[in-house]
Amino acid sequence: MCSTAWRRNPSLPRHIQPHPSPRREFGVSVLFHGYGLRKRTDGRAVNYYIYFIKTLNMTLSQFVSKLNWRLMLVHLIACWFFIYASMELAALYDINIFKELKDIRSNAVQRRIFYDAIWVSLGEDAGVLTAFIISLVLSIKHRWYWLNSVIVLLVGFFLNRFDLFGWQFLKHIFLKPGLVFKSYIGYYLTNGLIMLTIGLLLFFLKWSVRFINGERLSALSKSVPA
């Protein structure tokens, strides 16, 4: 009704045609202007949503493409050696405790064993952090994605915390070199230094860097002098 009240009447002269009410005209214009604005706003929201989804997919694809399973594998193995090397070396903190285990019922001895266990546990955590720092420095140096080192840190800490590294099976192999020595110092020091050396070699050998970079074995064999 309101929209048809001020329509032009073709049977009337032009100078007596009814004119639209300013209020009605203003109300109609605001109504349609607001509708158009809402349509444009909804369209922009849809466009922003589509852009966000595309950006998210692109970000995830870029994130996955930057992950390097070779780096995580090599550095996680090196982290394993650092953890148990630190554990063996931490046992040297109170090496004389082994001589007093005969009096294990003593409160003083039990207290020393408790503190030594805490020290060994802190040594394992120190091994994880040391391996992470070395991995992060190497990642920055060789322009590898730094998040690979963070994943190594988290996985290494998780596996060590829940005893999923298989140490109970592998310790019979890596603790044999120390059996050559009859003293506790020689035993723990030898085992710790050997595992620490293996971990450092895994981090810094050129073969490890080439393997992480994905070079082929043929290229590696050509680079090795005969």
What are the pLDDT digits (tens) for 36-47? 545 555 566 777
Asked if residue 24 belongs to a domain, the reply is yes
Q: Is 123 left (phi over 0), alpha (psi -120 to 50) or beta?
A: alpha
In sequence order, what are the residues at sequence separation of 6 or more whose Cβ sits closer than 8 angstroms to the Cβ of residue 75?
131, 135, 148, 149, 152, 202, 203
Q: What 8-state DSSP symbol labels residue 21?
A: P
Provide the domain count of the chain. 2
- Residues 93, 161: one domain? yes
Q: What pLDDT digit, counting tens, does each position of 112-136 carry?
A: 888 888 999 999 999 999 999 999 9
User: Residue 29's domain spans which residues?
Assistant: 20-62
Last residue of a domain, one of 62, 81, 112: 62
Instruction: Say if residue 53 is in the same domain as residue 87.
Output: no
Annotate 52-83 with DSSP letters as a single string.
HHHHHHHHHHHHHHH--HHHHHHHHHHHHHHH
Whether 40 and 105 share a structural domain:
no
State pTM to two decimals.
0.69
Together in a domain, 38 and 89: no
Is residue 91 located within the same domain as residue 203?
yes
**223 within domain boundaries:** no
For residues 207 and 104, membership in a common domain is answered with: yes
Clarify whether residues 99 and 38 are in a common domain.
no
pLDDT < 50 stretches in the chain: 1-3, 5, 22-35, 37, 216-220, 226
Q: Is 142 left (phi over 0), alpha (psi -120 to 50) or beta?
A: alpha
